[in-house]
Structure 1
Amino acid sequence: MAAEASPLVSWAQLVGQHALALFFVGLLLAVGASGLGCVLLQRRRARRDQDDPSARNVGRLLGGYATGFLLIVGTASLFAVIARRLGPGRTMGLADQALADGIGSHTPAAALRAFGLFTHLGDPIVLAVLGAVVALWLWQRQARLLAAGWVIALGGNALLNPLLKQVFARARPLHELQVPQIEGYSFPSGHSSGALVAYGMLLYVATRLLPLRWHAVAVMAAVGLVLTIACSRVFLRVHFASDVAAGLLSGLSWLAVCVASLQFVRHRHANQPRGPRR
């Protein structure tokens, strides 16, 4: 086991020493790639507008469900791999601790204060207020389907994450600067899953309601916000890196289910035959 863990632990120590620089590089790459991908996808869809509308809608629906299915299977598999490697003396546990120690020794206090502010954007109370405001706004706009999907997505994740925490019952990281002590289990990260579901669903709502020219901006903002909130949990050492990875994976799976369900209902409604007017 020690021989297996050694390369990963050494890599985690190296990442921890340069974590802040790697975070900024990764954030810029992720935001830039998401924006570019959105623009390319829009252009591809524009070229397809000359195709037969019914065939195009069916193809999009099937493609969306195939993508969602593969996404759920892939994220569930990665989640299972992470869970199997947790525990004292196991590969992931040793790497988690090495990364946390490296971050604690090499991250400036100013950066930690900044992460301390950003992390509150994933607090349950903040997401609850956001959920209520957006739900009321959608209901007033007569977007009842979006409002229902929004509430189910946020409410479902609020039930799913505590259930997973109880199943794995992993203790949080402990260090001398952690004041106040964070209560509750650590795996998977609730801030990570909650941020991904909430801001991911907000992105979906934005793509339904905003003009096309704002879609790339919305995608980049959502990606940047979710990654910053998730990484803040590791930098503040209230979660291990594997907790955050698992939180993002569980949130992504649930988000895929919610978006696919909404798309299915929208497609069925759009293709439902209209009865004669009376």
Structure 2
Amino acid sequence: MKDMSKIAIFTLIIGFIIIAVTVSLFIELAGDVLEEEKFFADRIFQEFIVFAEEDWLYQLMGVVTEAGSILFLTIASVLLAVYLFFAKKSKWYSIFFSINMIGISLLTQVLKLVFERERPELIAQYGGTGFSFPSGHSTGSVAFYGFVGYLLWKKIATKWLRVSLVLFFAFLAVTIAFSRLVLGVHFFTDIVAGMSLGAAWLITCIIALEFLLWRGRKQRNS
């Protein structure tokens, strides 16, 4: 720790705080779901956010949600993992990106089976099948687009462009998650739990990756 810069230490502390907050939020929601409690937020969002199929916002979210589908994220993840493996000097980027995506997928599927929460509505057209908690589109999108944002942050030197792209991918991940509400295939708490779980897993993977990269640089310079 003494060899790390103050900025790196501060960033690490922030990362652990975010992990603690997101994990705590997920555990709190998960406990209530297990007890089959009814959430006021779920009812409010079901009443005011779910749109009819002929509405333009429903149609738009039907397109946006595909950017978080299993098929799209699987293909995009394989392509990015292969690119990172051959393009990056360190293979750790490809390895941890793969751990990030495979891990969040397994976590999501296992948790769905544990909680067995039924969806508000089953719509196979938009991947609205299976159990509801947590939202797979939310966990997958946060993990995938969050890692893309992390890579761009490290790669792009121009500050305004770097910030703009990171904000864009963050906005995209959130929009994909909330598209599930508009389409009526998830409860609000499914979305919040999914984003919390995705963020916690993403940051854990990034911290582990940065630690290994830092240790590698330290060994080369010693």
Q: Does the alignment reach a TM-score above 0.5?
A: yes
After superposition, residues 99-178 of structure 1 pair within 5 angstroms as 99-104=45-50, 109-143=55-89, 144-174=91-121, 178=123
1: CA distance, partners of 2:116 / 2:36: 17
Give percent identity, aligned residues only: 28
Please state whether the residue corresponding to 1:262 is helix, strand or coil: helix
1: CA distance, partners of 2:11 / 2:101: 21
2: CA distance, partners of 1:102 / 1:162: 29
Q: Rg larger in 1 or in 2?
A: 1
Q: What TM-score do you get using the length of structure 2 for normalisation?
A: 0.88
1: CA distance, partners of 2:35 / 2:88: 52
**Correspondence 1:236 to 2:187:** no
**Correspondence 1:194 to 2:140:** yes
**Correspondence 1:97 to 2:43:** yes
Cα deviation for residue 271 of structure 1 reads: 1.3
Q: Would the alpha carbon gap of residues 168 and 87 (structure 1) be closer, same or farther in structure 2, given more than 3 Å must change?
A: closer
**Correspondence 1:210 to 2:160:** no
1:51-96 per-position Cα deviation (integer Å, ceiling 9, x unaligned)? xxx968343343233222222221111112222333797341x541
Consecutive unaligned residues of structure 1, counting only runs of 5 or more, are 1-53
2: CA distance, partners of 1:252 / 1:228: 15
Aligned length: 219
**Correspondence 1:79 to 2:26:** yes
Q: Would the alpha carbon gap of residues 179 and 198 (structure 1) be closer, same or farther in structure 2, given more than 3 Å must change?
A: closer
Q: Would the alpha carbon gap of residues 89 and 206 (structure 1) be closer, same or farther in structure 2, given more than 3 Å must change?
A: closer
Cα deviation for residue 218 of structure 1 reads: 1.4
Cα deviation for residue 195 of structure 1 reads: 0.2
**Which amino acid is 1:267 matched to?**
W
**Which amino acid is 1:165 matched to?**
K
Please state whether the residue corresponding to 1:196 is helix, strand or coil: helix
Q: Give the corresponding residue for 1:226.
A: 173
1:125-148 per-position Cα deviation (integer Å, ceiling 9, x unaligned)? 111111111112222213422111
Deviation above 4 Å: which 4+ runs of structure 1? Answer: 105-108, 178-181
Task: Indicate the RMSD between aligned Cα atoms, in angstroms.
Answer: 2.5
Cα deviation for residue 225 of structure 1 reads: 0.4
Aligned residues of 1:196 and 1:248 also touching (Cα < 8 A): yes
Aligned residues of 1:172 and 1:185 also touching (Cα < 8 A): yes
**Correspondence 1:245 to 2:221:** no
Q: What TM-score do you get using the length of structure 1 for normalisation?
A: 0.71
Q: Would the alpha carbon gap of residues 239 and 57 (structure 1) be closer, same or farther in structure 2, given more than 3 Å must change?
A: same
Aligned residues of 2:119 and 2:187 also touching (Cα < 8 A): yes
2: CA distance, partners of 1:107 / 1:245: 24
**Which amino acid is 1:113 matched to?**
Q
Please state whether the residue corresponding to 1:85 is helix, strand or coil: helix
Identify the match of residue 206 of structure 2 among 229, 247, 259: 259
Cα deviation for residue 205 of structure 1 reads: 1.1
